Structure 1
């Protein structure tokens, strides 16, 4: 295995383990709460329909802000934004462990989604800084395998922890793991040079609005029916905001997403 200048193989491997574990933690959070919903609903005296918002708050927040998170990591440094994402994720998880009501649970999960929107793009973007081109496919494969594993075992871990330690353990056990990851990445991951440019606010608003309307409609539509006027309006807003996003991104000098990259076959495949 070749080495990047100034980076030993053990430190690079430790950094990769940290990156994969951070991404896995996000996917665990996506999938581990569902099995605990009946228990939480009973303890908090909430119906299961409302509890679905606690389950979906993380994915909605993450999906809404993911494009913005990727752009921020490019502008302000991958490691810096990853550490910030871990901090937000860990603090939100710890606070959620002590929430007394559904509102706190939904808010905490949403804030974990905000942290996730920084963690996921940053962990991927840091792999090229750690590994040479020949080594990158293996590193990316490890990242993908770890995240898929996290999603697959999330329900089993959630059910086991809820049975043995209670549903709040899904959150307070996250905090020490995040602390270890924070220290590992801060020690072993390289510091990337900050990018140039600015945050495309119009693209941010239209892109986030598109994702939010679509995810909200798909979530709420399962409860009220997809022929509900609100759901139809949200789908219409999704199309309008999505068209505005594409229009702006193709014309602005410093876009949130360079849509011209989609002309490259290798980029489309990835």
Structure 2
């Protein structure tokens, strides 16, 4: 595609469906209050077909509990901007080393044989500790879900993209990190912080590797997002540390991630991007 220094006026007008005809896999899209659900709704609203990955047993074991996958799917389907697009959902335990490749293959097949966008949003909650209390089992559990599975998802995705014409349009990978690199770090969640830090560190390497396939790779730190895990005084104390006086909402990082998936963001790659509303640590 030939680029000119100054786009024509008609090219400056934003397409209301910039992801029309594209396909996306969003992992960890299992809770109505979650970031994955918000991301999937945004991608669907922009015209994409979306495959929603969920792992209900993980959420069911957490204090916030699990939502019904069909409710999440219905919510995303209601947001579809293109009536020809599809929303499909399926389970997967990404702690299983064979699951990431199987999930990518399943999603691609369900969406017509092609996968353009991968949003690796899933993570393991709990099973963590301080430096004094963390043990090998905790480290291994977070490694398997928070880092290893993401790399294996990207690997399987890259192999699919390699089969397309060189630099085929629309290739996007977005990973999720946390506040482990900022002031104070995450001293009570050593295993989680370690693996999320690994994703941040590998972003540049993956972006270089996938550039030949026309794929951008970026990682988003959403900051504290109100997904239902905090309440009372803890909730109020965190809200007070934002200039806006409120927590981040799931749709806040979702808007950034959806933009990164569009052609408007094709020149942004290899970046770890904070989207946290000026949160004061």
Q: TM-score by structure 2 length?
A: 0.29
Would you tell me which structure has more strand in proportion to its own residues?
2
Q: TM-score by structure 1 length?
A: 0.30
Would you tell me which structure has more helix in proportion to its own residues?
1
